[in-house]
Amino acid sequence: MRLAGIEEERRMPVDDDSGERATELEGAEALDAVDTALVIEIADVRRALARLEAGTYGLCVGCGQPIGARRLAASPTAAKCIDCQRALI
């Protein structure tokens, strides 16, 4: 799995050269960001699948109204209609 490979790479020792060390640390920070994004994306997909199994996929969890087809096409894991999502901002 990609996540396991990222974790393995992060555990590898870093070089003592300060320039290379800085680059490796920047790389580790980037990998942390990717790791976080993957965890969030996986959780979103699991919640969407649960809504699908419950028969509520495509209905806004905020107001209960249908989520627009264009929104679902752009973001299949969307749990809220555009109006409820904007209310969060």
Total number of domains in the chain: 2
Confidence (pTM): 0.64
What are the tens digits of pLDDT across the range 34-81? 888 999 999 999 999 999 999 999 999 999 999 999 999 999 999 999
What are the tens digits of pLDDT across the range 6-33? 667 666 665 556 666 666 667 777 777 7
Residue-number span of the structural domain to which 22 is assigned = 1-56
Asked whether 84 and 67 are in contact (CB, 8 A), the reply is no
Judge if 50 and 62 occupy the same domain. no
Report CA Rg, the chain.
Answer: 19
Task: For residue 21, count other CB atoms closer than 10 A to its CB.
Answer: 12
Judge if 7 and 41 occupy the same domain. yes
